[in-house]
């Protein structure tokens, strides 16, 4: 389980980082243009960069995966999995490109359907193995990941046909422009993704036990469930904030940010409090009783998770209004601080050190991002609180209306 977690960490960091470089630039430039030819050049240039970066990563796998596997104390299994996943990496070029095409037109149905089929296929395969009690190797898991990506790509392609012009017009100008805009976002994305996985990486390296990585991975998976609304909101807000910053000014951007954070907090806070109260229940459902030691890790993650919507949306919004360099420098400084704090906490607290280090740096990160947003868009936390309460009132009104009307009809 620990080796599987490390495999997902390595491949996940690559895909998420590449996505940060290309998807944001692709969405920004296509959503701001009404010229079909210009949109075609943006999409074609983005695809070229996507393919080149993937080829580079595949070369790195064949050159250095054996060393990486040994560094993580995983024998040869991690290297073998990465090599067997090469077809999946190639397929992700098309999957990620088609998803960006969809989102640049503010259409999220295809991305949802593609991800659903991709994950559902992988789940069904695992379920079949479980029910038939068949042995399942780690390399087989990597191959099935590729298969699930292939099916997801087919589905997202079917949803994307209305936006595809079947023309290829990559240009040096747009390649340079995408790299210029996306360069700092690429660096920020890489840092942010390392930041979000550093607890597992450092635990695997310094404690020397993949079983410890497995405990952290279980807690991280539940943690990601709480963050899903925030990631979804980022996908929606990026093109809207990009347009608003040009057409409607800072006041509209401030409103969009405060409203989005408020809506996210309305769902995140009660969810996080429930998980803090019943961590072992969630871990038992997700992973089984054997991972009970991950309960304190999950509780610490959830404390940090309460404030994470503001951090996630802040970086996304600063990118959308054309200041990716600022996000890059802030993330770089925090990654350095995070590495130091986590290392010291691992030495001081052992197994739970990485989780404690994550909480400490998350609190500092929140304070810094608050002041940045105060300067950039005049963020007002009182507005966020009021919008959060308004969200609860709206939910209550909607629920009560749906419950009361059928009752009144029944009485009549």
CA distances from 28 to 37, 39, 213, 231, 236 (A): 16, 11, 37, 17, 12
At 2, the pLDDT band (50, 70, 90 cuts) reads confident
pLDDT at residue 400 tops 60 = yes
Cα distance between residue 45 and residue 150, in whole Å: 23
pLDDT at residue 201 tops 80 = no
pLDDT at residue 162 tops 90 = no
**pLDDT value, residue 90:** 93
Cα distance between residue 61 and residue 364, in whole Å: 35
pLDDT at residue 411 tops 70 = no
Question: DSSP states of 59-110 as a string?
Answer: HHHHHHHHHHHHHTT-TTHHHHHHHHTHHHHHHHHHHHHHHHHHHHTT--HH
Give pLDDT tens digits for 30-82. Answer: 766 667 777 788 888 888 888 888 999 999 999 988 888 888 777 888 899 99
Cα distance between residue 101 and residue 88, in whole Å: 20
Structure tokens at 84: 């067997």
Higher pLDDT, 148 or 255: 148
Give pLDDT tens digits for 333-375. Answer: 888 888 888 888 888 888 788 888 888 988 888 899 889 888 8
Q: What is the C-alpha radius of gyration for the chain, rounded to an integer number of angstroms?
A: 22
Cα distance between residue 204 and residue 211, in whole Å: 8
pTM of this prediction? 0.64
Give pLDDT tens digits for 204-250. Answer: 666 666 667 777 778 877 877 777 766 666 556 555 555 555 566 67
**pLDDT value, residue 292:** 83
Alpha-carbon torsion angle 29, 34, 35, 41, nearest 10: 20
- C-alpha distance across the termini of the chain, in Å: 59
Percent of the chain with pLDDT strictly greater than 90: 16
**Residue entry with tokens 């067997």:** 84
pLDDT at residue 125 tops 90 = yes
295 — phi, psi (to 5°)? -60, -50
Q: What is the mean pLDDT of residues 154-158?
A: 92
At 408, the pLDDT band (50, 70, 90 cuts) reads low
Cα distance between residue 276 and residue 110, in whole Å: 34
Hey, which of 80-89, 248-257, 258-267 has the most confident mean pLDDT?
Answer: 80-89
**pLDDT value, residue 84:** 93
Cα distance between residue 104 and residue 98, in whole Å: 10
Please report which helix (H) or strand (E) contains residue 32, including its range.
none
CB within 8 Å of 368: residues ≥ 6 apart:
330, 334
Give pLDDT tens digits for 264-314. Answer: 888 888 888 998 999 888 888 888 888 888 888 889 888 888 888 787 788
């Amino acid at each position: 389980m620990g080796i599987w977690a490390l495999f997902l960490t390595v491949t996940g960091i690559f895909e998420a980082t590449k996505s940060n470089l290309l998807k944001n630039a692709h969405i920004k430039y296509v959503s701001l243009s009404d010229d079909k030819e210009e949109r075609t050049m943006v999409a074609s240039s983005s695809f070229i960069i996507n393919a080149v970066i993937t080829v580079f990563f595949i070369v790195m796998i064949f050159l250095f995966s054996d060393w990486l596997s040994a560094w993580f104390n995983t024998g040869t299994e991690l290297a073998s999995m990465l090599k067997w996943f090469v077809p999946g990496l190639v397929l992700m070029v098309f999957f990620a490109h088609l998803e960006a095409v969809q989102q640049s037109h503010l259409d999220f149905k295809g991305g949802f359907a593609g991800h659903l089929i991709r994950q559902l296929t992988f789940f069904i395969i695992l379920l079949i193995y479980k029910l038939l009690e068949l042995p399942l190797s780690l390399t087989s898991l990597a191959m099935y990941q590729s298969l699930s990506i292939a099916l997801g790509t087919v589905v997202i392609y079917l949803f994307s046909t209305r936006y595809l012009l079947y023309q290829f017009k990559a240009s040096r100008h747009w390649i340079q422009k995408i790299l210029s805009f996306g360069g700092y976002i690429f660096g920020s994305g890489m840092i942010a993704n390392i930041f979000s996985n550093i607890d597992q990486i450092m635990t695997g390296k310094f404690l020397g036990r993949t079983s410890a990585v497995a405990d952290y991975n279980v807690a991280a998976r539940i943690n990601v469930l709480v963050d899903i609304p925030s990631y979804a909101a980022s996908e929606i807000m990026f093109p809207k904030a990009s347009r608003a910053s040009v057409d409607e000014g800072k006041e509209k951007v401030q409103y969009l940010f405060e409203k989005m954070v408020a809506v996210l907090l309305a769902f995140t806070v009660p969810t996080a409090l429930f998980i803090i109260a019943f961590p072992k229940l969630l871990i038992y459902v997700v992973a089984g009783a054997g991972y009970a030691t991950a309960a304190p890790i999950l509780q610490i993650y959830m404390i940090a998770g309460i404030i994470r919507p503001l951090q996630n949306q802040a970086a996304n919004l600063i990118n959308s209004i054309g200041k990716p360099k600022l996000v890059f420098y802030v993330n770089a400084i925090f990654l350095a601080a995070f590495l130091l704090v986590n290392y010291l906490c691992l030495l001081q607290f052992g197994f739970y050190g990485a989780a404690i280090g994550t909480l400490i740096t998350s609190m500092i990160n929140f304070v810094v991002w608050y002041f940045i947003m105060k300067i950039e868009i005049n963020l007002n936390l009182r507005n966020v609180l009021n919008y959060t309460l308004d969200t609860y009132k709206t939910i209550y009104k909607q629920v009560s209306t749906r419950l009361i009307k059928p009752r009144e009809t029944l009485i009549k």
